Structure 1
Amino acid sequence: MPTFSIVIPVKPGGAITALESLRRLSSSCRFEILVAEGCRPSQQRNLAVQEAAGEIVFFLDDDSRVAADCLGIIATVMTDPAVGVVGGPSLTPAGDSLLQRLFGGALVSCFGAGGMRNRYRSVGRIRETTEKELILCNLAMRREVFTALNGFDERLYPNEENELLDRVGALGLKLMHVPEMAVERSQRTSIRQFVRQMFSYGRGRGQQTLISRSVSPLSFAPLGLLIYLMSLPFGVVFSPFWLIPLIAYLVLDILFSISAVFSSRELSKMLLLFIFPLLHISNGCGLLYGLCRGRGGGAEVAAMPVVVRRIKTFEQDVW
């Protein structure tokens, strides 16, 4: 069985709730846990991997709650030497608040998150995939592959995993999505936090596009919506037909909100009427900002202190 290095970035002094579920791992795989404290997760993960000794690096967030058999699942999929990366979705816990479940409901909708919605729902079978279905809070990679590619581009956060996964795929290695390998992570607890999260996702996608020079047209749909809305006051002056895209968007907003009510049997899901536009506009603003800001800033990152601590060694059974 392969050995694992579990890497968790955390803010200085932050809580690491992921450790609770890691203590219940049922796998016979040997693993170590490295926690990297700092303020730039992409850099923290890179430095932690430099100290890692496992054959497979398993990236989690500080609040990822893993399945008890996750290491065994990863080891099984990784028996194929052509597989370079294995990942699973991040699910919204049933015990989250109504607002948090609304955020989660928007992210699992094809209207809300498009092709990336499978990052937030457990559906289908094990399959070869792309970066669109994989998420960094639940991602395993061969350490030799990570090292050969010099890890994450530290100019990026978020979206550093998406840029790296594109490079892994370019090597001809398989990226595998495993629905059963799900983690649970609570959604943001307020509208303000959710807006900041969606803005940062957009900003990261914009900067990733400039760095990788690859464009995913569907990912830029929120930016198209934003530009359209900004032009609306001027467009309607010239033609009432300028309102047609807005009407179409509102119809889709209503239809997908109703669909969410029927699929979840929760009348409260009609509030997605307001969450969908919030998600799209926030993400569009982030995309615009990311494209205008440029490729990110690596100079200030180097000055940020990072402390890597080994919470558990391979030999420890109790920790």
Structure 2
Amino acid sequence: MSAPGHRPKLSIVVPTMGRPILRKTLASLLSMKQSGETEILICGKIHDPETRAFVESMAARHPQVSWFPVVYAEGDSSEKKNLGWRKAAADLVAFVDDDVVVAEDWVGHVVSAFSNPEVGFVSGPSLVPEDVGFWARLAGLTLSSRAAGYVSERYLHGGLEPREVKWSRLIGCNMAFRKSLLEALGGFRSDFWPGEEMIAAWQACQSGHKLYFIPGAFLYHYPRESMGRFWKQIFGYGATRIRLIRAGVEVEPSSLVPGVWVLALSVALVLSFFSSYGVYLLGAILAAYAMVAAIITALKVKETGKLSDGLIFLTIPVMHLSYGIAQWVEFFRPGKDLSEASG
């Protein structure tokens, strides 16, 4: 809740699973240059004693911080967002994940973007922080490489000037809406995770609202710390893409490439057991893929200047396999529970 008599320029909703890294997120929000012009709404139960004590302490010391210890049996992520924006006092509502660190001038860039009356909602870059583990760094770099297609745009600064982008360029860990738009949409659908923000973005653009990408409104997002969690994350993205298509959103052919690749690989693998043609076909597919992956890897190493980052050559196929397999699993067995348990 904002201080009495003070209406914030921006309400910031942080849906949380109660992870300890929430402390770092909240500390960064409170240390922003324009923190005093915001209110911060933490939505979610916190079981970790130290994290809970830290949030309670910050809420007691800072009038603009409110904590709502809620958890929902279904649609937990969506419902936490919905609770947050409905409690918001500002006309502009931002959403960040509970494992991010925002830039010092993040608020200014977000708020100034809405001075353009055409803008209905905005999104900014999600960058890889330096203080992460080895595998987490590789996961983040893989998502920001050309192997991720247009999705990589979300994980790069992408120039200097704000620009209009398609609905699919939104990233849920760093986004802001006019509250009036959220009211018109009815909030976030509880039957989508991950992807509640994507279908909202599609509906918003279909109703005439514009999404702008704001390079200056960047934050640092801590990637998954293991390949197992990275696989699960990407699996969720792949399955959600099919769910979105089933729900009637625009079909973007490039997003289906991993599924086609997995199908081609599977067919070639089966054929290889029965004919030399199948062996040659499988070899050709793998050789072509390895060549493209090597080029993408080389470009990323050139960008970062670290030879060890060349190991994304191994995580690129992990990303494509997980995404592609998930698309087929969701196609034939829809509705798999993709939620994450609250901490």
**TM-score bucket (shorter structure):** 0.7 to 0.9
Match of 1:212, SS? coil
Matched, 1:11 2:17: yes
Residues 14 and 204 of structure 1: CA distance in aligned 2, closer, same or farther (over 3 Å): farther
Give the structure 2 partner of residue 121 of structure 1: 156
**SS of the residue 1:180 aligns to:** coil
The 5 Å alignment of 1:261-300 reads 261-294=301-334
**CA shift in 2, pair 1:21/1:276, >3 Å:** same
Distance apart, 1:295 and its partner CA: 5.8
Distance in 1 (CA, whole Å) between partners of 2:263 and 2:300 is 27
1:1-319 equivalences under 5 Å are 3-11=9-17, 16=22, 17-27=24-34, 30-37=37-44, 38=71, 40-111=76-147, 113-124=148-159, 125-236=161-272, 237-238=274-275, 239-240=277-278, 242-243=281-282, 244-294=284-334
Query: For structure 1, which runs of at least 5 residues remain unmatched after alignment?
Result: 307-319
Identify the range of structure 1 (52-61 vs 38-47) with the bigger mean alpha-carbon deviation.
38-47
Whole-angstrom CA distance in 2 between matches of 1:283 and 1:146: 29
CA deviations over 1:113-145 (Å, ceiling 9, x no partner)? 100101111121311111332211110100010
CA contact (8 A) 2:10 2:111 kept: no
Contact 2:168 2:202 (8 Å CA) reproduced: no
Deviations 1:89-136 (A, max 9, x none): 11111222222221122111112x100101111121311111332211
Counterpart amino acid of residue 11 in structure 2: S
- Residue type at the aligned position of 2:156: R
| CA pair 151-259 structure 1, distance change in 2 beyond 3 A | same
Indicate how the Cα distance of structure 1 residues 296 and 160 shifts in structure 2: closer, same or farther if over 3 A, else same.
Answer: farther
Normalised by the length of structure 2, the TM-score is 0.81
Aligned AA (1:277): P
Q: Any idea what the Cα deviations from partners look like across 1:181-226, whole Å, max 9, x if unmatched?
A: 1110111111111111111111222211211243111111111111
- TM-score normalized by the length of structure 1: 0.87
Q: Gapped runs of 5+ residues in structure 2?
A: 1-6, 45-70
Q: Separation in 2 of the partners of 1:183 and 1:23?
A: 14
CA contact 1:158–1:201 (8 Å) conserved in 2: yes
Change (3 A) 1:130 1:296: farther
Aligned residue type for 2:171? I
How many aligned residue pairs are there?
A: 299
Q: In the alignment, residue 230 of structure 2 is paired with which amino acid?
A: F
Q: Which has the higher contact order (CA 8 A, sep 6+)?
A: 1
CA RMSD of aligned residues (A): 2.3
* 1:7 counterpart SS class: strand
Q: What is the CA–CA distance in structure 1 between the aligned matches of 2:257 and 2:14, rounded to whole Å?
A: 32
* Equivalent pair of 1:128/1:174 in contact (CA under 8 Å): yes
Matching residue's letter, 1:242:
L
Distance in structure 2 (CA, Å) of the matches to 1:296 and 1:87: 28
Evaluate the alpha carbon distance shift between residue 203 and residue 14 of structure 1 in structure 2; reply closer, same or farther with a 3 A threshold.
farther
